[in-house]
A and B are shown apart, each in its own frame.
Chain A
């Protein structure tokens, strides 16, 4: 079961050095000479791997330079390939030609850490805006994050299109509706979009840097606020990465409660999204019906677990909320009510031909493209990729309950809506099963601080898709780096690819069906 490692060692021999400091032991990290960094990508790509994340670290506290990391996934295997870059010449071979998502990862590494991907086709700053000083690299240790950035003069070069009848529509950052800020620039001919360029970074709050100053105990709260709609999944991924480094084993009951929270978060968001997608196709009935169901779930959360979104309920070592017999009954009753109401509404969705007209074939991301983009989560599953960490790398308790993830191939708005519908059904089933088997015992275990010079990794399937955290402790045991990879960092590219060919008025509908996080992307 280690296809990627085998492929890499067969090709590089002793050129690949495996490390003992990476946890959990099932996730392997190896260092290759930096000129082999892109070569390693070629090798694992031949073994079908997808690129899950790419990031850089400042390793000067260890007496080194910079580290660049690429995390690959195939099946249940994660492999991290690392290269060391000297301080005076932090250049490494770009992976963008092999792996499309590296395109933005590398722009971001270049912008925020000042490492240089050689051969990258487009090094315009990303997240960093043109009015930041060029040499402001916030993720470097030498950067003073406490002071406001001065503004300098600069210009962002947008991609352009020319020709008869071509015009441009800029949208955002403050765009219509109650929505996070981002900028979209369309080139269109008549109603047809010929190109979309996204520009994100407006909600960059310096989260990754902030983790370094908050310390290990404060990190889970910050992780819970990387993307407020995914607070459970993000704090869970943080906690699991931290627990893997410290050897902490949360009690069994905590695992089950975490999964209960995670599935409740999935249902609440999916239900809201299905309503919002219909609303963007001018079917407001569904929005009001679905938000009514969502509100019901949020109220139960507050009543039983003390917070409508269950923020700060997943903590290192376990959970900070428990459920008693009465609560268990309340959730089961709620599921019965939800299922009944939800199924009625699904019948309405299914029955409505004018809605079908809008959602079918709109905003299609074909399976080949989704694979090329290494898409994750609902977007991937709507475009034929059978990816779900609950199935492929099951963290407890998913190693003991079977999850069935729906996979569709049309990749259009309908497919993304329908994947959500099926997932709501599946999550209701899972919650019932969890409540039936919920073991007794304590809900949290003590967590020690990680030892010096370790790295922890975790992947959790949030409602949008796979969330990855990678934590690194420094030589004094402090937080040296906390890398966050929200599914949006990858799937935003999918939206950009799905839009050309659609008409301008369908953009909100397509965008809603992806519903990517701005905050989780911008960090």
Chain B
């Protein structure tokens, strides 16, 4: 137990330890994000992440949002297990033939305002997998998309910005 406490004390708050320019960008984005989350979602934005055929690269970066350096929870952003509690879907992958139905059903299960952020090149336009018998070629082909975040994979900062943009734009 003492070891754990020591380690926690030793580690401190690592959010401060980020490289300055990234920190500044995140803080700026985060500040506005917090503001928007407060105003529009009663201080808490709940996200359901849906992998619609990703290679798992985008998931790694979405995971990173939860690490103590990005610590997205400080802006009131939480990930939930059920689409029924979600304000936003964060969708990755080109939408495979085999996931199309599940994606539609998840979207239907999500209550309004159903914000959708497409994360990664695959989600935007199919990426390297393109359009084929197995791949629809982008989230927009299956459900309406509010914001598309490019990158393969986009870094956590870009994903945060995308989330923010979706909140700000959808009135």
User: Which residues in A have some Cβ–Cβ distance to B below 8 Å?
Assistant: 129, 132, 136, 138, 143-149, 173-181, 201-207, 209-210, 221-222, 225-229, 231, 272, 285, 288-289, 291-292, 294-295, 298-299, 302, 308-309, 311, 344-345, 347-348, 351, 517-519, 522
Contact = CB atoms under 8 A, between A and B. Distances in A.
A231 B153 CA distance: 12
B97 A180 contact: no
A280 B148 CA distance: 32
A231 B132 contact: no
Nearest to A309: B57
Contacts of A518: 56
A144 to B, nearest CB: 8
Q: Among B58, B60, B66, B106, which residue has the most Cβ atoms of chain A within 10 A?
A: B60
Nearest to B66: A291
Given A174-B106, A226-B55, A347-B3, A202 B129 contact: no
Interface string B72-87: 0000000101110000
A178 B129 contact: no
Contact of A298 (B64, B68, B128): B64
A294 B67 contact: yes
A255 to B, nearest CB: 25
A344 B132 contact: no
Contacts of B59: 178-180, 228
Contact of B97 (A204, A227, A517): A204
Interface stretch (B27-35, B36-44, B45-53): B45-53
Contact of B14 (A136, A222, A228, A292): A292
A148 B54 contact: no
Given A180-B51, A228-B57, A517-B56, A285 B102 contact: no
Nearest to A146: B132
Interface residues of chain A: helix, strand, loop or mixed (majority)? loop
B128 A221 contact: yes
Nearest to B127: A225
B138 to A, nearest CB: 13
Contacts of A288: 67-68
Contact of A206 (B8, B55, B134): B134
B11 A148 contact: no
B133 A138 contact: yes
23 contacts: A138-B134, A174-B50, A175-B81, A177-B81, A178-B51, A178-B59, A178-B62, A201-B98, A202-B99, A203-B54, A203-B93, A204-B97, A205-B93, A206-B134, A210-B128, A210-B132, A227-B55, A229-B60, A231-B57, A285-B8, A288-B68, A292-B68, A309-B57
Contacts of A175: 81
Contacts of B93: 203, 205
Contacts of B14: 292
Nearest to B103: A174
B9 to A, nearest CB: 12
B57 A146 contact: no
Contacts of B114: none
Contacts of B130: 210
A148 B102 contact: no
A202 B14 CA distance: 37
Given A145-B132, A204-B97, A348-B7, A181 B152 contact: no
A291 B51 contact: no
A289 B99 contact: no
A129 to B, nearest CB: 5
A284 to B, nearest CB: 11
Contacts of A347: 3
Contacts of A147: 133
Contacts of B57: 225, 228-229, 231, 309, 311
A311 B50 CA distance: 23
Given A177-B81, A228-B55, 5 more contacts: A148-B97, A203-B96, A206-B135, A229-B57, A285-B8
B162 interface: no
A205 B4 CA distance: 44
B67 A206 contact: no
Contact of A519 (B55, B62, B97, B135): B55
Contacts of A299: 19
A201 B55 CA distance: 13
B60 A204 contact: no
- 5 shortest A-B CB distances, which residue pairs? A228-B57, A206-B134, A176-B81, A291-B67, A228-B55
Nearest to B129: A205
A206 B133 contact: yes
Contact of A204 (B54, B69, B98): B98
Given A179-B59, A229-B57, A222 B128 contact: yes
Interface string B118-159: 000000000111111111100000000000000011010000
Contacts of A178: 49, 51, 59, 62-63, 79
B56 A180 contact: yes
A223 to B, nearest CB: 10
A143 B129 CA distance: 17
Contacts of A231: 57
A203 B68 contact: no
Contacts of A227: 55-56
A308 B102 contact: no
B109 to A, nearest CB: 9
A522 to B, nearest CB: 8
Given A229-B57, A292-B67, A308-B155, A206 B98 contact: no
Contacts of B54: 180, 203, 228, 519
Contact of B96 (A146, A205, A210, A289): A205
A13 B66 CA distance: 61
Contacts of B136: 148
B115 to A, nearest CB: 17
Nearest to A148: B133
Nearest to B99: A202
A232 B122 CA distance: 19
A143 to B, nearest CB: 8
Given A204-B96, A348-B7, A145 B64 contact: no
A225 B106 CA distance: 25
A229 B56 contact: yes
B94 A205 contact: yes
Contacts of A272: 63
A7 B96 CA distance: 44
Contacts of A229: 56-57, 60
